[in-house]
Amino acid sequence: MDGVRGIAFARARVLMNTIAGIRNEPLIKVVFITTLTTALWFGTLYLFHYGLSFFYGFPIIGPALMDEAMYIFFAVLFIMLMLSALIVSHSTLFNSAEVEFLFSKPMNHRIIYIYRLLQTGVFSSWAFLFLGLPLLIAYALIKGVSAWFYLALPAWFAMFVILPTALACLAVLVMVRFFKYERLKYYFIAIMAITFMALYWYYKTAIAPEARAGGDIAHFMDTFLYHLRILKHPFFPGYWMASSIVKAGSGLAPQSWSYVFAYGATALVALQLNWLASGALFHRGWLKSRNRSNRAISHPDNGATNRLLGYLSFLPRPTAALIVKDVRIFARDFNQYSQFLIYLAILGVYIFNLRNIPASVDNPYWKMIVVFLNLSATSLVLAGFTVRFLFPQISLEGNKIWMLGLAPITFRKLVLQKFFLNFIPVLLISEALMVSTNLMLSTPPGLFFISCSVAAMSSGGLVGLALGLGSLYPNFREDNPARIVSGFGGTLNFVIALGYVMLMIIVFAFPYFAYEIHYNITKQTFSFLLSGAWATAVLATAAAGILPMIAGYRKLHRMEF
């Protein structure tokens, strides 16, 4: 147990040093960040409470519809946590300098494995917990549950995260030990492609024809919930946790705790399997991951990324070389592009589902809701994408950052190069998504233009925010992107990105709903509020996208090498 005490002592010292570092920060900075985080959290709680109350207010079906939302939420959350842990666990268990250091110490390999497994759970779930907790509190407030429900929420979430993390780590442990490392990425891509094609086939043959048959919202919702019944299968762990929440909300405490115990027992069994397997597989798998086959260096004229340098001849040579380097690193990093493929798959599923919106959505009230929900979903996906992929980019330069400090390129140009390299694909993806979904929804021209403009501004603001804060709070000692993002700077980036997206949506939604739906303002007031919304959006985008980058490259310029 010396290993456990040593790891616990080290983590405690790291926590104490982190707290001490916060004490050394300017008071106004700490107060500002704390206030902003608290305000955003309570703002998220308010929005979830408002949205769930809206569904709860439907006659007859309202309470059942809100309970169904809980089942869908926990089912999707369980699957997303599994995917996130699958990707994060590989770098956390096998591609970390800390694991190499711990293996050099007289410690039980199983203890090292469980310690890294718990870290995987934290790295892969912190954002889900930040958003999931206000949703459950909003649900509890509407249901009027007892006080014990709120006290049990932290234990519920901790237990909920452990099971998908344990299953994902066990799968990665077996794959790394018994399959060639170079082929793992191809297995993953093949599995993702087969799964996506199977879901698309089921969607085209079963869901789409039935959803279009009825032609109204009621039939669409009934069809949608019917085909999601698999998520409520008694053997699906997400169903157990959702059932415990729903039963608790209905005042059925004994039934709620029975589902909790079933989930907890399954999580303990999964942890036991990890403990047994890690003794025989973890160290051997780690050694195997170190013994990778050597690849011959390609000729400068061979390969797509090598030829890319010739296509960028119009750029300064250092800038073109950095672009090629970033593209090559992304193409070689399994953890990065695998998550990128998952994001694209989620967007693809989302677009295909929009094709089944029934014709009755032409009702102005429903059309307005769907359009702004579509804009919100797109902006939130962009926020998560930029935080996950763009914030770590400066930090991933690692301890070789001093070479860039000596290179014939300023840090200002470095940050701008990374901005334009990432802004262009993000802009193209967001605009393609908004144009296609607006065409499917037959959005009016005014809303069409606003949604596409907001998506374009959000792309620039979110990319600049992620790269700027990534430069302002770099972590050159860490090579795990998930761990970089879960630090202070990544958390701050996530919080500000959510606040920025909420502001961009609210300033345009308020005048439209007030004028088009509730009819409680005049046309002149609507025009005035819309002009204010445009001014607010432009200022917010400039503040979010430009100011952090200026502060970031100045911070890099002041660094000593």
Other Cβ atoms less than 10 A from the Cβ of 296: the count is 5
Query: What's the CA gap between 378 and 346, in Å, rounded?
Result: 11
- In the block, residue with structure tokens 């769907």: 370
| Helix segments in 473-559, DSSP class H | 481-485, 488-512, 523-545, 547-557
The predicted pLDDT at position 134 comes to 84
The DSSP code for 444 is: -
pLDDT classification of 207: cutoffs 50, 70, 90: low
**8 Å CB contact between 186 and 178:** no
pLDDT classification of 539: cutoffs 50, 70, 90: very high
Q: What does the domain layout of the chain look like in residue ranges?
A: 1-290, 363-561
Q: Give the tens place of pLDDT for each residue, 226-284.
A: 555 666 777 778 778 888 888 877 777 777 888 888 888 888 999 999 998 888 888 88
**pTM for this prediction:** 0.66
The predicted pLDDT at position 313 comes to 62
The per-residue b/e assignment along 165-174, b for 16 or more CB within 10 angstroms, e otherwise, is bbbbbbebbe
pLDDT classification of 359: cutoffs 50, 70, 90: very low
Q: Give the tens place of pLDDT for each residue, 212-239.
A: 555 555 555 555 555 556 667 777 787 7
The predicted pLDDT at position 355 comes to 55
Task: Name residues whose C-beta falls within 8 Å of residue 434's C-beta, 6 or more positions apart in sequence.
Answer: 374, 375, 378, 451, 452, 455
The residue among 188, 300, 224 whose CA lies nearest residue 71 is 224
Other Cβ atoms less than 10 A from the Cβ of 246: the count is 21
